[in-house]
Amino acid sequence: MSTSTEPKRTNRLKKGARALAVMLGAFITAYGLEAILIPNNVSDGGVTGLSIVGSQLFGLPLGILIAVLNIPFVYLGYKQIGKSFAIYSVIGIASLAYGTSVMHHIPTIIEGDTLLVTVVGGIIIGFGMGLALRNGGALDGIDMLAVLLARKLPFGTSDLILFLNMFVFVVVATVFGLQGAFLSGIAYFIASKVIYTVEEGLSGSKTFKIITNQPELMVETIRDRLGRSATYNMIEGSYSSETFKEITCIINRLEDSKIKEIIYEIDPNAFVAVYDVAEVRGGNFKKKDIH
C-alpha cells in the first residue's frame, strides 16, 4: 500500500468510528426517553421535548416529529458550522428517530419514583447526547438556534438556551401538567450536567491558543473551513529565545471537534491550549458563511 493512501484510509476509519459513536449516543438517548422518561410523563428539553408534546397531542410517531422538526436546525448547522457537522447531525437525528420507533414498546425500567425517574433518565439521555456532541454531531437543534440568536441579540448562548427551554417546558405543562413540566426541567438540568462532563461544555465559547510551525496556513484553513477569524500574538520562548506567532481563535462549543480536526490535519505536533469562555460580546466574533 502506498504511503499516500494510508492517511486517507486512516481518516476514513476515524470518520466511520465517529459516525458509529454518534449513532450509539442517539440510541442511548432513545432508550432513556422510551424506557424511563416518556412512560412516566416526563419530557426532554429542546426540539425533542416539542416532538414528545406533538406526539402526545396528535398521536403522530415520535420519530417522524423528531426528524421533521430538526430539519431547519440541521440547515443552520450546515451554514454556520460546516458540512461534516451537518452530516454527523443528520446521522444522529435519524438514529434517534429510528431508535424511538423501535424502542417504543420496550418495558419501562422505572415507574412511580419521580426522583429516580428524573435522575436516571437525565443521566442516560445526557450521556447519549454528550457522546454525540463529543464526536461532532448534535441530536437536538435548540443549541444551534441559540448560537445563531446569540450573534443577533445582546444575550449569551447559555442564556438563550435556558430561555428557549423555558418556553419548551411551558408547552410541556399543557400536556403533562405542572408536575410533569417541573420533573422535565429537573431531568433536563441533570442531563445538561452530564453532557458538560461527557462533551466538556454545554454552552458558551472556547478560546484556542495555538503555536504551530505553519501559522499562516492554520489561520487560512480555519477561516476557509470554519468561517472564523483569528489573531496573532508574537511570543518568545524562554529557553530557546525563538520568536513564534501564537494564534488565538474563539469558537462556539459546537465547532470544537472541527477545529481540533483542522489543527491535527495541519500540524499534529502543534501546541494547543483551550480555555472555556462563559460569554463573548462585541468585537469581531461574527463569522461568515462557509458555503
Q: Per-residue pLDDT for the chain (291 aa), expressed as one digit of tens each? A: 555 677 778 888 888 999 999 999 999 999 999 999 999 999 888 999 999 999 999 989 999 999 999 999 888 888 877 888 889 999 999 999 999 999 988 999 988 888 899 999 999 999 999 899 888 888 888 877 876 776 677 776 667 777 888 889 999 998 889 998 999 999 989 988 888 778 654 456 889 999 999 999 999 999 999 888 899 999 988 887 888 899 999 988 778 889 999 999 999 999 999 988 766 766 666 666 665
Domains (range + CATH), the chain: 5-199 (no CATH), 205-277 (3.30.70.120)
**CA angle (127 as vertex; 163, 151 as ends), nearest 5:** 35
| pTM of the model as a whole | 0.73
> Dihedral through CA 55, CA 57, CA 60, CA 61, nearest 10?
20
Name the 3-class secondary structure at 24: helix
How is 153-175 classified by DSSP, letter by letter? SSS-HHHHHHHHHHHHHHHHHHH
